[in-house]
Amino acid sequence: MKIALIGATGFVGTQILKEASSRGHVVTALVRNVDKVEKRDGIKAVEADALNTADLAAKLKGNDIVISAYNPGWDNPDIKAVHIAGSKSITEATKQAGIKRLIVVGGAGSLRAPDGSQFVDGAAFPAEYKEGALGARQALEDLRSETALDWTFVSPPFTLVPGERTGKYRQGKDEPVFGADGKSTISTSDLAVAILDEAEKPAHAHERFTVGY
């Protein structure tokens, strides 16, 4: 499979790149700084700006699927607005490139609590992540009105940490997946496994899913 991976040097993107490469896929890594992309057979690093729709579309062409791990950066003072704009640009560029399949890695804030509310709206939600989470939530809402693409939105669990690849995970949809210990967690390596599993065998077209141990 030919995969265009946006944000391939980020916290999640690096693991998606590693997992995709290990499965023998050909990956175009679209990043701000090509020098940060690990040199491997089957990986081509391309400089790209998610906000430049026309240029991005040209660089996406020829791929079978787009996986977006886009994040403007948690230190960006306008992270909400930029996240929304970048997400819209990526969706439009994917369509312009003639690619039907788009997987977007979003946030956990829009997952639902037992009372039906979204965690990002709760008083206990960490203030330092709120604007980014609101941007990711709007990106999901924008996708939900998208009919031209076979899109999937992936929400990680509340705790996402570096860790070993076990290849094991459980899936949910709009509610967090909690383990026997009561925690909602997964390693970035196993999140990447879940994302590549979805890329290879689509099971969540036009919907969001989440994972956890």
Report the pLDDT value the prediction gives residue 40, as an integer from 0 to 100: 86
Half-sphere exposure of 166 (CA within 13 A, CB side): 9
Q: Where are the domains of the chain?
A: 2-212
Q: What's the pTM value of the predicted model, to 2 decimals? A: 0.96
Q: Are 152 and 201 in contact (CB under 8 A)?
A: no
Query: For residue 213, how far is the Cα from the chain centroid?
Result: 19
List the one residue out of 48, 24, 22, 21 whose CA is nearest residue 34.
48
Report the pLDDT value the prediction gives residue 197, as an integer from 0 to 100: 98
In CATH terms, the superfamily for domain 2-212 is: NAD(P)-binding Rossmann-like Domain (3.40.50.720)
Report the pLDDT value the prediction gives residue 39, as an integer from 0 to 100: 85
Report the pLDDT value the prediction gives residue 75, as an integer from 0 to 100: 87
pLDDT tens for each residue of the chain, 213 residues long: 999 999 999 999 999 999 999 999 999 999 999 999 988 889 999 999 999 999 999 999 999 999 999 999 888 999 999 999 999 999 999 999 999 999 999 999 999 999 999 999 999 999 999 999 999 999 999 999 999 999 999 999 999 999 999 999 999 999 999 999 999 999 999 999 999 999 999 999 999 999 999
